[in-house]
Amino acid sequence: MTDTFDVIIIGAGVIGNATAYYLARRGLKVAVLEKSDHIGGGASARNGGGVRQSGRHPAELPLAMYGVKNLWPNLSAELDLDVEYYRAGNLRLGKTGAHLDILAQLVQSAEAGGLDMRLIGAVEARGICPGLAEEVIGAGWCPSDGHANPLLVTLGYYRAARRLGARFISGAEVVELRKIRGRVAEVVTAEGEIRSAGRVVVAAGYESRKILSSVGLDVPMHPLQVECLVTEEAPPMFCQMLGTAMADFYGHQSRHGSFVFGGSHGYEAHAFYGQPLGTSIAASSVCRAIIGYLPALREIKIVRVWAGWLDECADHIPVIDNPAETPGLTVACGFSGHGFGIAPVVGILLAALATEETPVLDLSAFRYDRFRAQV
Ligand SMILES: Cc1cc2nc3c(=O)[nH]c(=O)nc-3n(C[C@H](O)[C@H](O)[C@H](O)COP(=O)(O)OP(=O)(O)OC[C@H]3O[C@@H](n4cnc5c(N)ncnc54)[C@H](O)[C@@H]3O)c2cc1C
């Protein structure tokens, strides 16, 4: 038996690190156990950097809006690290009437949630982002969306949490949670080390499912492999986040000039799981989509591609909860490909849950017990 902590967090991704920071800021003794030898080696440092409210599930929209209003603008100062956050808007592009119908639905859903998003015509879209293909006939425009550098945000939370005394233990794969007198109170690592805490937070991405099974919980989610690419540097072209009605690509231009793009190719569920470089078709499929919308990028060179794994939940929104059947345990997983943009607010919400305070936002949509038999 080794150390005892107020809170043990499992997983040093952006969710775990943000939670560690907000808990350490309250003066709690926090440990983060990370399976790999790296901090942020999961989805958190592999993602596209979108800090998006538009296109969110209605349940997630209040979290995204709270973060953009209250947390993202001050995050660099708070973490004492420039996280390259830009609130320059999100243009979601369309080329056909069917695309505009999809965009109109997104606008309607955004408006219902109180988000400023509207449909704009091709001329206005080109005014915002010159260089769009002639075929673009309209776009959904959300001026308060943006992007940030996921590596810097993830490592920024890690460094800031450490400065406040949080302990990060890498190479520590948690294989089991244990209850003492009905309360989750211990974690066991693959090497047989046991650590105890007043509260355990599971924030281990798709691998949370296996960890949670040791105390009889099951979140219906599965790993989904998605990919990104980064190009050589180029002169500044646009500072918005771009996407399309069909989600065939999304991306932004980073501060030093590289474009970071991701997108779908349709075979994500059948990817060669565990292959960190991704499939052979993703980059070409995403590039075809990009060139169809931004022909000026035809000659730009790709310098790197990579894959990452999503914790895809059955209903596409996360579980953020203290399940009633497991006192002492907080669950944070199932972010389904959009956890980066809401990570700061989720960190604050989890810090409240872990200390059994009332969170600043209603979390009832994210309860563990929402899953019911479908038939
Ligand atoms: C290619 C790609 C593009 C994306 N683009 C966007 C985007 O533009 N905008 C957006 O909002 N979101 C995006 N996402 C989603 C976003 O990255 C994730 O939702 C977010 O990073 C989830 O963070 P996390 O901390 O929960 O998970 P992770 O970053 O995966 O962290 C989980 C950590 O737990 C550790 N772990 C696992 N098992 C154990 C164990 N047994 N013991 C100890 N540690 C363990 C893992 O090693 C990992 O470090 C994208 C994801 C990918 C892959």
Q: Show the low-confidence residues of the chain (pLDDT under 50).
A: none
- Ligand 1 mutation target, pool 46, 47, 259, most atoms within 8 A of CB: 47
Who's near 173: CB < 8 A, 6+ residues apart?
35, 189, 190
pLDDT of residue 271: 65
Nearest Cα to Cα of residue 299 among 259, 249, 241: 259
Tell me the fold of 4-48+151-220+315-370. FAD/NAD(P)-binding domain (3.50.50)
Supply φ then ψ for residue 269, to 5 degrees: -70, -10
Residues 6+ apart with CB under 8 A from 243: 55, 90, 91, 92, 93, 249, 250, 251
Write out pLDDT tens, residues 16-60.
Answer: 999 999 999 999 999 999 999 999 999 999 999 999 999 999 999
Domain 4-48+151-220+315-370 and domain 88-144+222-313 have a common topology: no
What separation in Å is there between the alpha carbon of 279 and the centre of ligand 1? 19
Give me the residue spans of the domains in the chain.
4-48+151-220+315-370, 88-144+222-313
Residues with Cβ within 8 Å of 174's Cβ and at least 6 positions away in sequence, in order, are 10, 33, 35, 187, 188, 189, 190, 204, 211
Would you list the DSSP string of 263-312? E--S-GGGS-TT-TT--SSHHHHHHHHHHHH-GGGTTPPEEEEEEEEEEE
pLDDT of residue 283: 83
Token couple for 360:
């600043």
Using CA of residue 268, residue 272, residue 278, residue 282, what is the dihedral sign? Answer: negative
Tokens 């929209």 — which residue? 61
Nearby residues of 204 by Cβ (< 8 Å), 6 or more positions away: 10, 11, 13, 16, 35, 174, 211, 333
pLDDT for 264 equals 77
Kind and range of the H or E element at 106? Answer: helix 97-112
**Is 3.30.9.10 the CATH number for 88-144+222-313?**
yes
Q: Is the CB of 217 under 6 A from ligand 1?
A: no
pTM as predicted: 0.96
Q: Is 341 in the pocket of ligand 1 (CB under 6 A)?
A: yes
pLDDT digits (tens, 9 = 90+) for 299-346: 999 999 998 889 999 999 999 999 999 999 999 999 999 999 999 999
CA 339–ligand 1 middle distance (angstroms): 8
Is 317 touching ligand 1 by the criterion CB < 6 Å?
A: no
Q: Which of 335, 336, 349, 366 to mutate to test the pocket of ligand 1 (most atoms within 8 A of CB)?
A: 335
Report whether 367 contacts 223 (CB < 8 A).
no
| Residue 147 · residue 239 · CB < 8 Å | no
